[in-house]
Amino acid sequence: MANPHAGDTPHWEAAFDYYYQDQVEAAFAEVTESGVGEGADLLRWYRVIEAEFVTRKKSRTIDVTPWLQMEFVPDQLMGLEEELAQRTLAACDEVAQRIGWSHGSQTLLSILASETEAPWAANPYGYCVSKEPYEKICLPNYLVDDPLEFGQAVAHEYAHVISTNIADEYAPRWVEEAVSVLVERRFDRGTWSDFKADRTRWLSERELEFALTDRTEDEEARKEEIWNAYQQAGWIGRYLAELKGENSLGAFLREIANESPVANILRSFRGQDRTDRALRQVYGVSKRELFDRAYDWMCQASVFSD
């Protein structure tokens, strides 16, 4: 989840400082004092902070491993916390093995209180945010009723933890989603058919990045556009994995973060951004070539499989 601009009042500036330290009680006190800003432009963040605050008031936290903790509301899990903890660990282990990552980054999985689920929820499917002292994954409570969907959501968000840390936060959103949707294994046959039937649905790199990050319009009205963007990112991740295996995605992310003198000089000399140079180093393609070839490869797939 993207870091917002600083709030337009001292209360919101303080709230974001508290929020990124996961001091959600103090953050909520600040936003309650300040309100949601002119034109309600901070309503989305108000809802995010409120949901984490409501959860924190009722929750308890258990250690799953030295690097993984789970926060939950006990009377809402009906004794399933140990099973969910093990499902979380299994999903994280699988993703780490597929991408080529060694656990270590401190991670908190927070299963949000059921009362925070509402039509106006800012992130109804879950999200990951970098905080101090850990990466925090927040998932809606309804996911605990479906073990498969719960595992997919954990996999998607833990892939963000991995991408953020390997790439040192330099990876664009479409790259992170390419990895996350790939490991989540949630590919939609209908969208696949739509892409094949209409090339204009397949966005350019800039269009895809905008579709995944834009928060200026009503997301409910943009639901299909957003879903298509996630699916396209996933197909790009699938294509990269087809080229050199899923572990190559870890190498790709590491190359994006490459700060060696040689890498910096070559990027500057060739006028490349980090992502373009990393693609050329690992896969031998430019961003434009990647988007064109991934589309062609997707269209030629004779069997739809996960």
- In single-letter form, the type of residue at position 31 comes to V
The reply to whether 155 and 141 lie within a common domain is yes
- In single-letter form, the type of residue at position 268 comes to S
Spatial distance between the Cα atoms of 17 and 110, rounded to a whole number of angstroms: 20
Residue 48 lies in a domain: yes
Convert the pLDDT of each residue in 74-97 to its tens digit: 999 989 999 999 999 999 999 999
Residue 65 lies in a domain: yes
State the total domains in the chain: 3
Convert the pLDDT of each residue in 103-153 to its tens digit: 999 999 999 999 998 765 667 789 999 999 999 999 999 999 999 999 999
**C-beta separation of 108 from 134 below 8 A:** yes
The reply to whether 53 and 133 lie within a common domain is no
The reply to whether 52 and 63 lie within a common domain is no
Q: pTM of the entire structure? A: 0.91
- Close Cβ partners of 56 (under 8 Å, ≥ 6 residues apart): 24, 25, 71
Which stretches of the chain drop beneath a pLDDT of 70? 1-8, 35-41, 119-122, 215-221, 302-306
Question: What is the per-residue pLDDT for 271?
Answer: 76
CA 300 vs CA 44, 193, 195, 199: distances in Å: 40, 11, 12, 13
Full residue range of the structural domain in which residue 154 is found: 59-161
Residue 166 lies in a domain: no
Question: What is the per-residue pLDDT for 111?
Answer: 97
DSSP-derived 3-state class of residue 146 = coil
Residue 305 lies in a domain: no
The reply to whether 131 and 84 lie within a common domain is yes
Residue ending a domain, among 19, 38, 57, is: 57
Residue 115 lies in a domain: yes
CA 13 vs CA 132, 145, 152, 223: distances in Å: 16, 37, 34, 30
The reply to whether 241 and 156 lie within a common domain is no
Residue 285 lies in a domain: yes
